[in-house]
Amino acid sequence: MTSLKELQDSFQAGILAGDDAILGEINDSAREKRTVLFGVYRNAYVARLAEVLGNDYEQVHAYLGDEGFADLVKAYIDANPSDQRNARWFGRHLPAYTRTTAPFANHPEVSEIAVLEMALNDAFDGPDAAALGIDELAAIRAEDWPHLTFQPHPTAIRLTFDTNAAEIWSALKDETAPPAPVRLPDPQAILVWRQDLTARFRPLQAEEAMMWGEAAKGVPFGVLCEMVATFAGEDNADLRAATYLRSWIDSGLLRGCQVETD
């Protein structure tokens, strides 16, 4: 008798690879042939994962259209058998898949739209942490400010896009005609995070992107101000740095701060 292990191997190969050996182990029913009955499992695997990808990548779907998205879904499912108990993470390779696989790789905005959707999904159910409040900063003594370091909210992630994918995503989300895809003259930084319960993103100008990157590494505020001054001029450099910091706090982008005492 075929062992349970062999039977399960064969059953799985029947679903994933279309291998018909399993049909020798199963019965026709009184009303239906075994090929049709086993087909229920084959169809369900693809249908279920297609539904997961459709939910996770709504704007990739909108951008490619039904037919294009169906082609992508089929190719992705064939290339990436699910290795996750939780289907929530089945689609996590889609950004890399579309970046490296023709014909999608010829349209780099597709992968970047997917990157943005995945980042928003990850922010939505990412780790919880109370956001740093303005009251906590108000309690910091003036002489300690130069030594103040900041911890980003655990859901905050900075992306870098070569195309106008964020603009395309926003238009699709609003159900308006997306702009034509273009390669940007300079890479664009995008911050994605969750504010309270809402996943958000916004583009960053170069100076703010620089300061965010350094702040996230634990560079203290005094040094951040000097870096801002070097980046775009000393005039109002402290004010510019303080304005960025204030907007991060108002947006819930930071989880905490501390005075470095070295």
Which spans of this chain sit near other proteins (rule: CB under 8 A)? 1-5, 7-9, 11-12, 15-16, 25-27, 29-32, 34, 36-38, 40-41, 44-45, 48-49, 52, 81-88, 90, 123-128, 155, 194, 197
C-beta of 67: minimal distance to other proteins in Å? 23
> Which one, 56 or 112, has the nearer CB to other proteins?
56
> Which one, 15 or 224, has the nearer CB to other proteins?
15
Rg (CA), the chain: 25
C-beta of 76: minimal distance to other proteins in Å? 14
> Which one, 58 or 162, has the nearer CB to other proteins?
58
Cβ atoms of 154 and 129 closer than 8 Å: yes
Between CA 176 and CA 28 the distance in angstroms is 51
C-beta of 248: minimal distance to other proteins in Å? 20
Q: Any idea how long the chain is?
A: 262
Between CA 81 and CA 115 the distance in angstroms is 20
Between CA 141 and CA 152 the distance in angstroms is 21
C-beta of 20: minimal distance to other proteins in Å? 13
C-beta of 8: minimal distance to other proteins in Å? 5
Enumerate residues 6+ apart whose C-beta is below 8 A from 121. Answer: 56, 199
> Which one, 2 or 243, has the nearer CB to other proteins?
2
> Which one, 27 or 106, has the nearer CB to other proteins?
27
Q: Give the strands of the sheet with 198-204, arranged side by side.
A: 157-163, 183-195, 198-204
Look at residues 141, 158, 178 and name the one whose alpha carbon lies nearest to residue 261: 141
